[in-house]
Amino acid sequence: MCPRGARLFAGSGGWLERTKVVAHCLLIEAGGEHVLVDTGFGTGDCADRKRLGRRFNALVNPVCEETETAVRQVEGLGIDPGSVSHIITTHLDLDHAGGLGDFPEAQVHVLGAELAAAEHPSLKERSRYVKAQWAHGPHWVEYGPGGDRWFGFESIRLLPHLDAEIALIPLPGHSAGHTGVAINTADGWLLHCGDAFYHHGEIETPPNTPRGWRIFEKLNESDGEARHRNQERLRGLRQEQGAELTMICSHDPEMLEAAQGQPAAAA
């Protein structure tokens, strides 16, 4: 995605210069199966960018290239997309759920609160959810509040039949059922925080967030108090467990570049 306002979003560059925003997904290999965390934009979005909405296209300027979709990148790894048997969604915003239709047989794991919000959005939230992205009728697997704990956070263990430790970590605020996804890897825990934060400076102490992201987060939050509270908790988690935990978000290009070329197998 290439919105204008590099100075606002990246902290440098021109006010009208375009900047780079990514959609950071994860592919997990475990027990002979593959699990995808978020899907970014899909081939359907590339074929018909209009379905993303005039406002979104104008403000965000998504570069919908089919080679960048999750399904084509999975194929590029020599993996049959049909082996992606599970998709875990941090939430169902249009820039996270666009590729669901490219994996029609996969089970899609989602918090029940998020699925309810997406299927029956309020007037304010109608533009964030694009029902055409799941018109194929996904195999939804819904979850409610969990009873487990993960470093002090509520957690919901997923896919116990796989030889991998994966959990949903509810982080509401950006959306009603927004969640992080924790994966225990050979190099320690990896926490995909979705849109709980947008820029690496937000989880630093003290936080340092470009003004554009602060405005964007405010405009797109479903519960500002919960969002701020969870960001504070994530900062504390990073301070306490920094040596054993890697934390990423969906849209920071620096975090994606740091992670690329450093695959971590599930433990």
pLDDT at residue 94 above 70? yes
What is the per-residue pLDDT across 37-80, written as a single tens digit (0 to 9) for each?
999 999 999 999 999 999 999 999 999 899 999 999 999 999 99
pLDDT of 146 reads 77
- Tell me what percent of the residues of the chain surpass a pLDDT of 70: 97
Q: Compute CA distances 43 → 66, 75, 138, whole Å.
A: 6, 13, 16
Residue 161: exposure state from Cβ atoms within 10 A (0-12, 13-18, ≥19)? exposed
This prediction has a pTM of 0.94
CA angle, 169 as apex, 186 and 37 as ends, to 5°? 65
Tokens 């003004």, located at residue? 211
- For the domain made up of 23-257, the CATH class stated in words is alpha beta
What integer is the mean pLDDT of 221-242? 96
Q: Is omega for the bond preceding 210 within 30 degrees of 0, making it cis? A: no
pLDDT band at 31 (very low <50, low <70, confident <90, very high): confident
What is the per-residue pLDDT across 68-92, written as a single tens digit (0 to 9) for each?
999 999 999 999 999 999 999 999 9
Q: List the domain boundaries for the chain.
A: 23-257
